[in-house]
Amino acid sequence: MIIDGKAIAAQIEKEIKEKVAKIHGRKPCLGVILVGNHAPSQIYVNRKTKACEAAGIRSFTKNLSEATTEQELINVIDVLNSDDAVDGILLQLPLPKQINANAALQRIAPEKDVDGLHPYNFGKLLMGEKDGFVPCTPLGIRELLIRSNIETTGRKVLVLGRSNLVGKPIAVLLMQNAIGGNATVTVAHSKSQNIKELCFNADIIIAAMGQPKFITQDMVKKGSIIIDVGINKIGNTIVGDVDFDALKEKCAFITPVPGGVGPMTIAMLLSNTLKSYFQRIS
């Protein structure tokens, strides 16, 4: 079965819109900071702010020039940190090379860190505390699994990739003693041996490597579940980390690229912004 991430994300966004519509007075607000002229980032930010608008969440974008210094960026973050009307702050990555991305991300007030990249929120995730923010892509993957009624308890999950953005947080979510967790998780990376064997042994594979069509038909057992996070450009086509056409019949569930995990990332940004709003007003 093909998991329709677009439809699931649309349903979540509809639910968020209904919740926002019930809010009287000040609406939730997301402040986005976009530094420089990175074309894909401009497209991503556009999608995010449009999705906010559609859900009734207020949003605005601070456009800063390519030549922005780290101090200038930090000054902008500080203004948003102390603005009571702003619930979420999203610093679009990548940043120009003169700026230390970690320093900038760590300047964002943890209670407004709706992208979940501040070490404080990483710590909360590791400790299983639910009031922190989890990065949107891993959160979206867990939601896809839950809403597709895919049981993770006791299943063998292989996470391919160990980035702070995807691999590490999804591994933590899946091992958590919580709904959508309780799995037996293995994490592999570019130095791992016998990836084929690891794939073959897994019930669920989360592919987040950025390696086009890396997972082929012969690597996966029949009835496996594959969540493909990869976004790779080959010419004018976008493909995932999985050979989707060769595997779609063999898997019990599989996500397409595009239309799988991607739309969920935006839905989870809205969800985190709404969560921040309710936590901040309570």
Could you give the residue numbers annotated as active site? 48, 92, 115
Is 259 a binding residue for ligand NAP by CB under 6 A? The answer is no
Taking the complex as a whole, the smallest distance from the CB of residue 22 to ligand NAP amounts, in Å, to: 29
C-alpha span between 103 and 72 (Å, rounded): 13
Tell me if 47 sits within 8 A of 75, measured CB to CB: no
Please select the residue that binds ligand NAP; options are 57, 64, 105, 165, rule is CB under 6 A. Answer: 165
Instruction: Return d(Cα 96, Cα 198) in angstroms, integer.
Output: 37
Q: Does 229 bind ligand NAP (CB under 6 A)?
A: yes
**Among 136, 198, 119, which residue's Cα sits nearest to residue 173?**
136
Q: Could you tell me which stretch among 68-76, 84-92, 119-127, 159-167 binds ligand NAP (CB under 6 A)?
A: 159-167
Told to check if 190 binds ligand NAP by CB under 6 A, we report yes
Q: Which of 210, 246, 248, 250 binds ligand NAP (CB under 6 A)?
A: 210
Residue (of 45, 149, 153, 25) closest to 93 by Cα position: 45
The least distance separating ligand NAP from the CB of residue 136, rounded to whole angstroms, comes to 8
**With respect to ligand NAP, which residue has the nearer C-beta, 30 or 76?**
30
Nearer to ligand NAP, 26 or 196 (CB): 196
- Closer CB to ligand NAP, residue 265 or residue 276? 265
Q: Name which of 37, 17, 42 is nearest 27 in CA terms.
A: 17
Q: According to CB under 6 A, which one of 26, 130, 189, 196 is a site residue for ligand NAP?
A: 189
2, β-bridge pairs: 254
Q: How far is the CB of 228 from ligand NAP (least distance, A)?
A: 9
Name which position in 226, 261, 269, 270 contacts ligand NAP (CB under 6 A).
261
Report the residue from 160, 206, 226, 274 that binds ligand NAP according to the rule CB under 6 A.
160
Q: Does 163 bind ligand NAP (CB under 6 A)?
A: yes
Nearest Cα to 210, choosing from 162, 246, 142? Answer: 162
156 binds ligand NAP (CB under 6 A): no
- Interface map 38-77 toward ligand NAP (x if CB under 6 A): ----------------------------------------
Name which of 79 and 126 has its Cβ closer to ligand NAP: 126
**Interface with ligand NAP: number of residues (CB under 6 A):** 25
Interface ranges with ligand NAP (CB under 6 A) = 137, 160-163, 165-167, 188-192, 195, 208-211, 229-232, 261-262, 265
